[in-house]
Every structure is written in C-alpha cells, then in structure tokens.
Amino acid sequence: MKQDYSHYPRHLVAVDCIIFGFDGENLKILLVQRNFEPKMGEWSLMGGFINDNETSDQAANRVLNTLTGLENIYLEQLNTYTEIHREPTARIMSISYYALINIEKDIQINEKYSAKWYNLKEHPELIFDHNEMVKDAVLRLRRRASTRPIGFELLTDKFTMKDLQNLYEAIFDESYDKRNFTSKINALDILIKTEEKDMTSSKKGSFLYRFDEKKYQKKLAEGFMFKI
C-alpha cells in the first residue's frame, strides 16, 4: 500500500553558495545585492530553490553557472541550516556549498545580480544566517588546505612560489617564513618548475611553477597532513 504523506508538513529547500576567489594576495568572496524583498538592497550569498527534477548538487551547479557562466567548478557541500525562523517569509531550509574559482578565468558575471568581489575580511554584513555560512565555509576550507594540496582551483595555471605562499597565508590568516614554506611545499613533490619567470616582482624575476596533475591527484587520493 502506498504511504500517504499529504498530512505531513511541507517545507521549501534551497541552496546557498559561498564562492571563494583569490587575487594573488587576498582571499575574496563573491556576493550579490538582493533585488527583492525581504532585505532588498542588502548583500547576500548567491542561492536558489531546488527544482523538482534536481538534486541539491545539480541545483548548486545551476546557481553557480547562472551567476558566473562557469561549469565544472570545484564545489563541496558544506552544511544544512534548518533554524525555524531563519527567513521571515516561509520555512526555508538551506543546504550550503562552497566553491573555489580562479578569478582570472573568463568569468561572465550576470549583471542581473549586481555581484561584487569583496576581500573576505572586509565584506559587508550579510542577510539572515549567511554570515554563519561564510564562517563555516572558511573553517572547512582551512581543514581542506591542511589535508590536501589547495591551489588548482584558485591559482592561475602558472604561479610563483610567493603566489602559493600568499594563498596559504590568506586562507589561514597567518604569515609564514619563506624558506620554511618553500621547503615544505617542495617536500610534497607536486610542483613542476618551469623555465619561465615572472619579471614583475624583481629584476631577477621569480620562477613560475605549475602543478603536476598526476602527482596532485595521487596526493588527493592518499590524503596528507600539511602543517607549515
């Protein structure tokens, strides 16, 4: 006999995306300016409801594509937020995701959403429980950066060792000794040193590196602890 669920309460389910980027020095977050009530004109994460024919992963990918025009973005489910009064208009539960985007990629920001990149430490107050979502995402990103080589998604294809150090310093909000950081990164054996140099930092220039994708993927599969 088919179970009748009609007498049970029904709730709306949405996804919200915490979108991180890196500009070479600062960890950044992409926010949208809300164009409808409640909280019209205030800043929020990019989100949307899950359609009847979608999983939450599919909905999050659709939301990200709608905003950035990008596909195959690094995306990870973060948490579920179910506080009864988290939104004033209805009982809406939200599944959060965080995404990592290379800012220098060909991103076509949808003008409809008045989106803007903010430095993570300087972003405006966000609506509802979105500040909590961002804090949770930062903690998850830090855990991920200590157990896997973070970089493919946030750096350009070729980068200096200083770029990589800047990224880790931005994620953990700490400063590291250059020699010690370089030694520990080299010990991971996931970088390929090219013959090219970035000549913008000094007359001598800095060698450019790229990730060895096979070794990188192997490290991801094996897992590791990276303590600077």
pLDDT of residue 96: 98
Q: What is the C-alpha separation between 219 and 130, in angstroms, rounded?
A: 32
Q: What is the C-alpha separation between 107 and 66, in angstroms, rounded?
A: 11
**DSSP character at residue 83:** -
pLDDT per residue as tens digits for the range 83-116: 999 999 999 999 999 999 988 876 889 999 999 9
DSSP letters, 123-178, are: PPPBSTTHHHHHHHHHHHHHHHHHHS---TTTS-SSEEHHHHHHHHHHHHT----H
pLDDT of residue 79: 98
User: Which CATH number, 1.10.10.10, 3.30.70.140, 1.20.1370.20, 3.40.50.740, labels domain 159-222?
Assistant: 1.10.10.10
Residues of the chain with pLDDT under 70: 106, 224-228
pLDDT of residue 78: 97
CATH no. for 12-147: 3.90.79.10
Structural domain boundaries in the chain? 12-147, 159-222
Same fold, 12-147 and 159-222: no
